[in-house]
Structure 1
Amino acid sequence: MTETSPAGTRTADVALAGQSVLGVVWTLAGRLGVVARTPAELVAALAADPRRRTLTLSGADAAREPLAVCELVEWLAELGTVRLRVTARPGSPAHTRLAAVRRGTLELAPEPPATPETAGGPTGGPRRPDAAPGHPSRPGCAGGHTFRLGRLDDPFAVCAADPLAVTAAYAADEDDHGGLRPAWLRAGQALCAEPDPARRALVLLAALSDAADPRLRPALAAQAATAPWRVVWNRVQGDIRPPWPGPVGALATAAGRLLAADPAGRLHAVHPEDGTPAGRPWDTGRRIRALAPLADGRVLRLDDRGRLATGHLDGLIGIDRPSGADHSDPLTDAVAAVLTAHPGSALTAAAGTLVVGDRVGSLHAFEATGLHQTAAHRGRVTAASALAAPGGRSGVTVYSGGADGTVRAWRPGRGATATPLLRRDCPVAAVHAARTGTGTVLAAAWTDGLVRLHRPGGAGPLDFRPGPPVRAVAVTGAGTLVIGMDEALLCLAPAA
């Protein structure tokens, strides 16, 4: 159970019996609104977030990896912003280790002796997937199929079983099981939080590498048939057919191509239809925070210091440079000069308007005729995307996301930002809007790993959690959603 108090303190109660330390990390991260793939990442994520947490962790001695779980508890106690109440059986190694921790944020209480019912199994180990509560293999449930712990190469079994038991089994087994194990470990936090087997199959399919057993992809796709998304293509670290373009820190669309910038400053172009490379990589020499392609083939780049740089894509994506085009114009030169003195935190451009977000929550729209500004967010503007008005009309609409968790729309020169389009209790990580055949489609991602596609008309929003932290999103002209992460690039389409 997780809840947020009126003062903003998040609380979570987690039973540790039978869990691996990875399962504990993913459970806690999901309930506390952060993304973490390892114990160190969980501690780092909580250290960077000023909100206070109160955690009740029961049965430390009955965990699958009790001493590793105790080490995690010690790290959390060091933070000072996490108050922990942990139970362990007196006399157990876990109780002895935790009793030695001298931190006021940790309260250790005795745990009654473990039983098969409380420990998850006769030996205190994790529940077998075929013994998970509510699992289809239990008598009287649909299918009557028995999934055994040894069937970790069976996609139907692992998606239908208790995800924490599967996590514990994969953590203890180095065999890749046809590619299911590395995919599960890549997307584990989302898999453990998702109760629906069809959606689990979708997440697992999205994390599958090209080295996996070729029979897995159609099997997972069939199992995910009732999910609200379908996987169009995916590229994960190590893929070679076609190659993975590298970590993604920013995404943009230009001239029918998808541009992906990695943290080292290299810019890659891929075909949005299938993710295959388009042209050669471009090493810009600077870490890239945001991309803003222009109609003349130039692309503006906001670097990690909040400064502006510009260059022409040329052969990268097959754009011929217009006669007389260069790497600057009076407007971009003026904006670059402003950002040298006042660094930006977000960047976008459309129809001759350059928009910069800053660290205090304001948006600045630079046009040849003047400057428009608005106070859009509380705290840093973390992402922005602009669209030109349809039908040749003048003006742009700016969609921005902020550290306050909101996504807002603003039309420069026409008043302040409106009521939030979207609001959640964690910072926005990325925003992108595109005009498709059905209308304007808006994608947003938050730092807890959730991606939401806001669709026009009566179509409701669609959510997806890939598992790892989301660094960037993009909507293509065909209405597909591209998600950029440190170890994967993924394209999804709404199932209906």
Structure 2
Amino acid sequence: MMRWDRPAGGREPAAAALLGWLSDAQAPHVCLVSGSEGCGKSALLAWLVHHGSRPGGLAERTVHAVVPPSPDESVLATVWSIADQLGVVARAPWELVPVLAADGRRTVIVLPDVRGEAVAELVLALAGVPGIRLVVESRLGSPAHRLLSGSGCAELDLDLGQWRDEQRFAQWQASHGSQHVVAGMPKPKAVVDLWDPVAVCRADASTVTAAYERARRGEYGGLREAWLRAGQSLCRDGDPASRALTLLAALGDGADPRLASALAEAAAASAWCWEWSRVSGDLVPPWPGPVSALAVGEGPLAGAVLVTGPSGSVRVVRMGDGGARGRIAVGSFQPQSVSVLADGTVLVLDEAGRVHADGSWVARPTGSGIARLLDEGPTGREVLLAALRDHVGTAIACAAGPDLGVVAVGDAAGEVRAFGDWEGAAVLHGGRVNALAALGVPVGSEGVVPLVYSGGADGTVRAWSPGHAPMAAPLAERDSAVMSVDAAMTQSGPALTVAWGDGAVEWIEVDTGARRTFRPGPPVRAVALALDGRLLVGMDEYLVCLAPGSRAQPTPEGVQRRP
């Protein structure tokens, strides 16, 4: 049996009560640790975090997230800290609550020194999520305490004598002299120039977030809006260059133009080079709208990116600058996945998983009309499209081949099926296929070999070549669902990009395993990879194009698995 570490200052009764509350399935979801200043609230919470973070501890006592105390209390910084530690993405309380509700796992969150009503209201919203337990420290008489103490939560008032062993407290006091039981609040942070993009990239993130949260829309030349747009990424522990890149990617065209040049210079040492962004509200070129799926154009659509979203159409934008090149009307449905055949045929999946084809960009066949009439049979393209229409899927991808190419379609049961020049099927995941990418890989005298990359809800990316067994080990794996994948045959060999449900985007050199990571901040809906290695990342509010910089990561970014 693991030894129980005693808390300092004779607080064994309070510690035992906390552990009992954690183990009681019928207890209120919030435990309020209250009392006057200096009574030992912070020390008790520090003990709980230490006790609940030890390897091999009891599952019901495990602490999963701790919000760092800050003199600048911010609801958004609190949301981003919780989301980041739990491996999810949330832009605001309205998004964090349903995301954690969908997760469903038991989760213990500790919030030290909660003072204001806004964070207390967030606590009450989270308390309604099944599986969530919250330990909240709040001083007696504070607005947060007044709101929470009347909400039906459990409360440990450390001013009451029942929560301290007086004999052990006297022994502790004798051995520690006049030291206080409680750890003091962090010292106030230095004043930050909120107009200076370089300064905010180097400053304490919670301080900047709280200041921008209090500011009015339109203040600080557009820097405030970019920070709040990308906030969860900016509040992670990151170097100033990576923060500058993230902030630059979220900057709209209405911002002070001096901000972009300063941020580009500050981001020079990051793993990526920023090419362009199209942000909600941009006019020149216009923002193409929210992104649900992306695809790099082929054939007549070469040099373009196809962008789908809730508008019920596919927008065609230029790879070079994100400017508009055209639009494809696909009907009244909402496109879920998009890909392009080598001849420019656009394939789109609707909400029900049915394939729709658009050939408006395909070159017209040559030859006389009489010759076409004498050829009574359907073309290979027509046969392929007919086969696809009979299949229901969750993701689609195309790759070039010796004739028609190959089309891969994944389904909700984890199976991927290939159509076209190569045919076959394989079960790659223990659940839904969320995303697919396909490549025609040149292999010596064999010409082209098809390679399909599949990303699943099970948090793995797997490779399969139709006609062969799938690779036994996943190419990439995280404790998070795959949201999107794409692949390209670049000058340095095959490259893969993966968007994960925890907000990370990884660019992987398949042959070497070298990786680059980008976290834009908001939930990533789709990624696309061009032949020259440029990466496109699509979100609800902006689309950004990056090129690889000089610094790559040799090993993948790890994620701690939660029980």
Bin of the TM-score, shorter chain as denominator length: 0.7 to 0.9
Q: Could you give the per-residue CA deviations for residues 304-330 of structure 1, whole angstroms, max 9, x where no partner exists?
A: 22111111142xxxx534447999612
Deviation at 1:16, TM superposition (A): 4.2
* Counterparts of 2:388 and 2:270, CA distance in 1: 45
Name the residue aligned to 1:70: 120
Q: CA deviation at 1:354?
A: 2.1
User: 2-side partners of 1:195 and 1:258: how far apart?
Assistant: 30
- What is the distance in 2 between the residues matched to 1:29 and 1:266? 32
Asked which structure has the greater CA Rg, the reply is 2
Please list the CA deviations of residues 204-231 of structure 1 after superposition, one character each: whole Å capped at 9, or x if unmatched. Answer: 0111111111111111111111111110
Alpha-carbon offset, residue 251 of structure 1: 0.6
Distance in 2 between residues matched to 1:286 and 1:326, nearest whole Å: 27
Q: Hey, what does 1:282 align to over in structure 2?
A: 329
- The reply to whether residue 91 of structure 1 matches residue 141 of structure 2 is yes
1:3/1:277 Cα in 2 relative to 1: closer, same or farther (>3 Å)?
farther
C-alpha distance 263-108 of structure 1, shift in aligned 2 (>3 A): farther
SS in 2 for 1:193: coil
Pair 1:259 & 2:306 matched: yes
C-alpha separation between the residues in 2 aligned to 1:459 and 1:426?
A: 20
Q: Structure 2 CA distance, aligned partners of 1:493 and 1:56? A: 39
User: Which residue does the alignment assign to 2:395?
Assistant: 346
3-state secondary structure, aligned to 1:215: helix
- CA displacement at 1:96 relative to structure 2: 2.5
Q: List gaps (5 residues or longer) in structure 1.
A: 122-126, 131-147
Q: Matched residues in 2 for 1:190 and 1:282: separation?
A: 35
Q: How does 1:33-182 map to 2 (within 5 A)?
A: 33-61=87-115, 66-102=116-152, 107-110=154-157, 118-120=184-186, 127-128=188-189, 130=190, 148-149=191-192, 151-174=193-216, 175-182=218-225
Q: 1:198 to 1:374 in 2, by over 3 A?
A: same
Per the TM alignment, residue 488 of structure 1 is displaced from its structure 2 partner at its CA by: 0.5
Letter of the 2:398 partner, please give it.
Answer: A
The residue type paired with residue 322 of structure 2 is G
Structure 2 unmatched ranges of 5 or more: 1-48, 160-179, 367-371, 373-377, 551-563
Q: Write the mapping of 1:210-289 to structure 2, written as runs, cut at 5 A.
A: 210-254=253-297, 255-280=302-327, 282-289=329-336
Instruction: Tell me the SS of whatever aligns to 2:426.
Output: strand
Measured after TM superposition, the shift of residue 353 of structure 1 is 2.3
Cα distance in structure 1, aligned partners of 2:102 and 2:532: 37
Taking only the aligned residue pairs, the percentage that are identical comes to: 45
Supply the distance in 2 between the matched residues of 1:108 and 1:427 (Cα, whole angstroms).
37
On the 8 A contact 1:381/1:403 being kept in 2, the answer is: yes
The alpha carbon displacement at 1:286 in A equals 1.8
Q: Helix, strand or coil for the counterpart of 2:103? A: coil
Aligned match of 1:466 = 520
Q: SS of the counterpart of 1:279?
A: strand
Please state how far the C-alpha of 1:257 moved relative to its aligned partner.
1.4
Distance 1:198-1:110 versus aligned 2 partners, 3 A rule: farther
Instruction: Name the structure 2 match of 1:144.
Output: none
Pick which of 391-400 and 439-448 moved more. Answer: 391-400
TM-score (norm 2): 0.76
Please state whether the residue corresponding to 1:288 is helix, strand or coil: coil
SS in 2 for 1:259: strand
Partner of 2:387: 334
Distance 2:185 2:67 in 1: 13
Cα 1:355–1:280 shift into 2, 3 Å = closer
1-structure distance, mates of 2:379, 2:102: 42
Report what 2:425 is aligned to.
373
SS in 1 for 2:140: coil
Q: CA deviation at 1:479?
A: 0.6
Partner Cα separation in structure 1 for residue 86 and residue 521 of structure 2? 14
Aligned to 1:205: 248
Distance in structure 2 (CA, Å) of the matches to 1:476 and 1:278: 17
Coordinate RMSD, CA, aligned:
2.6
Contact kept in structure 2, 1:357 and 1:381, CA below 8 Å:
yes
State the Cα distance separating 1:87 from its structure 2 match. Answer: 1.4
Tell me, yes or no, if the aligned pair for 2:104 and 2:130 is still in contact at 8 Å.
no
Structure 2 residue identity aligned to 1:286? F
Q: By how many angstroms is 1:101 displaced? A: 2.6
- Residue 478 (structure 1) shift: 1.0
Runs of 4+ residues deviating >6 angstroms: 1-10, 114-117, 324-328
Secondary structure of residue in 2 paired with 1:360: coil
When you count strand as a share of all residues, which structure comes out higher? Answer: 1
Distance in 2 between the 1:107 and 1:492 partners?
49
Whole-Å Cα distance in 2 between the matches of residues 363 and 225 of structure 1? 41
Q: Is the 8 A contact 1:443 1:474 kept in 2?
A: yes
What's the TM-score, normalizing by structure 1? 0.86
Equivalent position of 2:435 in the other structure? 383
- CA shift for structure 1 position 272: 1.1
Residues 252 and 465 from structure 1, CA distance in 2 versus in 1: closer, same or farther, beyond 3 angstroms?
A: same
